[in-house]
Amino acid sequence: MHPRNFAVMAGALLSGAFFLQGLNVSAQQWPAKPVRIIVPFPPGQAADIITRAIGERLAPALGQQVIVDNRPGAGAALGTELAAKAAPDGYTFLAGGSAALAINPHLYPKIGYDTMRDFAPVSHLVSIPMVFAVTPALPAKNVQEFIRLAKQKPGEINYGSSGSGSTSHLVSAVFASQAGIALTHVPYKGSVQALTDLMAGQVMLVADTVPVTLTLVNAGKLRAIGVSTAKRIPHMPNLPTLDEQGLKGYDLQTWTSIVAPAATPAPILDRVSVEVMKIIATPEVNKRLTDMGFVPVGNTREQFGVFLKREHAAWQKAVQVSGAKVD
């Protein structure tokens, strides 16, 4: 090898060694300043509430302030892109959910991040199952009765959603496809309008999250006919899953997680993952999250990585089935 080439290679290797050593030192000293968790939604929404519940316990565990930084906009893409491009030094994390990490990459033709490339999994915080609810006037008390009714009146049965490409739209489209029925989609600008019209009988079916639907179902204003997850949920233990009612393999859910910029040092990711698991396992936090309608999870980086990959693929199929397009 030419002496000059050898010198260049040696210099590169030495620089790389110093870089890795620097990361190792910084990871050992971490955290030396406040840690930021970006929430790509406004204050008061589910991801914000969950993050603050975890963050207030994470701060004393890390010995540093944990700042919840709300960065809403562009359907969660604005804050998510900001986190993807942040320095991978362990001082920026993202409260990433199903919309930002698993749906939007397939829904928007131009988006400033790649979930599987730009983020490192930390932990799955909570799952948020979807409840399929019908107007009480509809003569369908379960999923199979609804399917039979829809087959008798193809295209005449409609369903509402919180907007084209929303989770409520996608889970309903997959339901219709898997059941082999033709339903008419009525998109609204948010859940409130869709559920209001469902109670009034203007639409016949809406799928929405447990925190949104539970009170209305318990009050008799809506009738729940199925839950979207593979297992029944503690909030409605008598409500069968769609899988139990004949739609084998149906398992879609929304969720919130913690992720970090991809090159964040592994020791830091491990530390945060362990602390988050401990926090979610505490009776106080577990009960608090459950009472709000969430299903607490808290798992390892590896477990969440497998889940994230599976969800990324599942929601890609859901977007394709729905035909949803967002400019």
Q: Say which residues have a Cβ less than 8 Å from residue 306's Cβ, sequence separation at least 6.
A: none
| pLDDT at position 12 over 80 | no
What percent of the chain shows pLDDT beyond 90?
Answer: 86
Q: Does the pLDDT at position 124 exceed 70?
A: yes
**Phi and psi, residue 175, nearest 5°:** -55, -50
Do 159 and 218 fall into the same domain?
Answer: yes
Q: Does 23 reside within a domain?
A: no
DSSP 3-state assignment of 204?
Answer: coil
pLDDT at 3 over 50: no
pLDDT at position 221, please?
97
Residue 238 lies in a domain: no
Residues 148 and 161 in one domain: yes
- Give the pLDDT confidence of 126-148 residue by residue, as tens digits: 999 999 999 999 999 999 999 99
Examine the domain organization and report whether 161 and 202 are in the same domain. Answer: yes
Residue 327 lies inside a defined structural domain of this protein: no
The whole-number average pLDDT for the span 229-250 is 96
Instruction: Please count the structural domains in the chain.
Output: 2
Q: Of the given ranges (14-28, 36-50, 142-156), which has the lowest mean pLDDT?
A: 14-28
DSSP code of residue 164: T
Do 123 and 173 lie in one domain? The reply is no
Write down the pLDDT at residue 54: 97
Is 26 among the domain residues?
Answer: no
Beta strands in the chain (DSSP E): 35-39, 66-70, 92-97, 119-134, 158-161, 184-187, 205-209, 223-227, 253-261, 295-296
Residue 184 lies in a domain: yes
Answer yes or no: do 262 and 179 share one domain: no
* Residues 114, 188 within the same domain: no
- Structural domain span for residue 318: 34-127+255-322
3-state secondary structure of 246: coil
Instruction: Return the higher-pLDDT residue of 46 and 18.
Output: 46
Q: Which among 211, 227, 243 is the end of a domain?
A: 227
Euclidean distance between CA atoms 93 and 35, whole angstroms:
8
What CATH number is attached to the domain comprising 164?
3.40.190.10
Task: Please tell me whether residues 118 and 267 are part of one structural domain.
Answer: yes
- pLDDT tens-digit series, residues 172-194: 999 999 999 999 999 999 899 99
Pair (94, 45) in one structural domain: yes
| pLDDT tens column, 152-164 | 998 899 999 999 9
In a domain, 25, yes or no: no
Residues 121 and 84 in one domain: yes
Task: Give yes or no: residues 119 and 264 share one domain.
Answer: yes
Q: What's 66's domain CATH number?
A: 3.40.190.150
Give domain status of residue 53, yes or no.
Answer: yes
Instruction: Answer whether residue 16 is part of any domain.
Output: no
Q: Pick the last residue of a domain from 209, 227, 245.
A: 227
Same domain as 108, residue 141:
no
- Please indicate, yes or no, whether residues 113 and 159 belong to a single structural domain of this protein: no
